[in-house]
Structure 1
Amino acid sequence: MQFPELLGLTHKQARDIVSDHAPIYITVGDADPEFVALDGVSVAESADSKSAGGECVNINKAMPNRLDELPHIGPAGAEAVIDARPYQGVDGLTRVSGIGPSRAEEIEASGVVCSL
């Protein structure tokens, strides 16, 4: 099977959106690829930010430099957030040392975190 059919596209649709020289990445099964741009922001996270209408931070996927944008989260806190992944919601951040319920509420109220 050729890639347009795998993506549910016709060959004409594929020609309109894919360059002849662009690499095509296809996963198998339930694999979820993540591509990281040179600025350290994942492509998926960048797309999430654009679709959400702002610069949101996905606490399950963000790189440390993006997690550092959350209120009261510095570089060490960002690493601790990464180590405790995955999260079902912002309230799950309370598993991280130094983040209690009131701090998690502050982070959620900031509006910086993407909805999960």
Structure 2
Amino acid sequence: MNLSSKKFQDHLDKKEVSMAAREYLDSLKNSKDMEGVVQATKAIPFIGCKREIEEAKQTRKPLLEQLVKGTINFILAAVSLSRSESQLLGKTDDKPKTCLNNPTVDNQLQRSPRH
């Protein structure tokens, strides 16, 4: 079953899905992709003895925090890079920018005074 499907989300909402805490911990120990396991199972509640549930929660918490920090850092780096690129692209010439595109001179100021 796809973990992001609507049907799976309905099962989660109805508390019909759970995961054995011991299996979760074993999966993490044997996994080469701990972040993937944590990400895929973050919404699934644990079942089992109290000690194993607590251990699984304590194991999952810092890994989730690490994933969140990594995501935030990635987004901030992307925004910073985007700003830097747009600033570089905006400075293609060294000509000063002016708001006076078509200046006009009043005719009275152009006439020289007559004596």
Tell me, yes or no, whether TM beats 0.5: no
Which range, TM-score by smaller chain? under 0.3
Higher helix share: 2
Quick check: which has more Rg, 1 or 2? 2
* TM-score, structure 1 as length reference: 0.18
* TM-score, structure 2 as length reference: 0.18
